[in-house]
Chains A and B, each alone.
Chain A
Amino acid sequence: MKTPEEIFEILKNKFGDAVVEIDTETPVDKIITVDAKKVHEIGKFLRDDPEMKFDALMSLSGVDDANGEKVTNEEDGTFEYKGGTLSVYYHLHSIKLKHKVTLKVSVPREEPEVESVESVWKTANWHEREAYDMFGIKFLHHPNLERILMPYDWPGGYPLRKDYKNPEYYHGMKIHF
């Protein structure tokens, strides 16, 4: 059993710059930020290393950090974010060693590309599709990156982004109240 700080040290020594920082100020889980293009390698190490054995991906969630520049349209009061980041959080658990860790990657909003961890944990398959569906985060090398909740032909972008605007109609059905 290891604490997140110990895990961070081990990862830092092994992966160098790909492991960015650990946030210990958070109230519950301590969060290790890693490189979006290396997360699958780090995940594979965390799964296979005898001291880590993170055999379960409990959750994978997308987040819109909404930390870009907020541009408001004066005419209709809508707004959108320019710049800033989208994030993905990975909650890992080792059933064998009974320890937990949280990973995070942040990617630019205009080009949100994260390596898929589907090859490491099969659980990630649908979770990543959901994050793609709701936030538009592209998971590279995912075997089937399709929308999972919204209709396949949804015209309206990614609904859980903070600056999301619903389309007026879908297949001739009025959406707004």
Chain B
Amino acid sequence: MGLTIEASHIFKAYNGHEVLKDCSFVFDRGGAYALLGPNGSGKSTLFRILSLLERPDRGQVRYLENGRFISADLNLRRRITLVLPRLGVFNTTVFRNAAYGLKLRGLAKGEIEARVNEVLDMVGLTKKRWQPALGLSSGETQRLGLARALAINPEVIFLDEPTASIDPVNIEIIEEIILTVKSRREATIIMITHDPGQAQRLGDHLLVMKNGKIMARGV
């Protein structure tokens, strides 16, 4: 069980401006990584590439299972997920947002309901499950993003600034949720944060984005 991610010699430029320059790193299965770095240093770009949303200009991202490379097809894409910094909430109820990924996978109704209720309970949105998701506060929205991602039981979860621009109470709730996910040891967690304290609290490995590369920053 578990996926290891190997990024090797990734290059990515936008309009001639090189964002990622020969970026290589191995994320071991089951680890919890926190990535720091200034705005515009290419963290989100790297996440989109690692989560197979975007292709690098050069270099490659490979996933390994039991020491063997596995192909980057839909099947693999469905074992990983990225929680975007701006979520992209669907204009429907909280419940249906959380159920989205399961529905895509063609799960039975009862199964979907059970799983969605579980994750909504985990993020404290059970009471709001029939409300329009676009009416949620920013903290609740971010929690819904987590629920939506966790519903599909991802083996790797990328979190792009999951607590940016939300209130301290919600930050604490979200950190608790992430710690719960971590304690279950079911998923590799890779997150971007601007808060070194948060990186310490949630991550086992601290990384920094610098000059288009990932560097380890001690433990």
Do chains A and B interact in one complex? no
List A residues at the B interface (Cβ < 8 Å): none
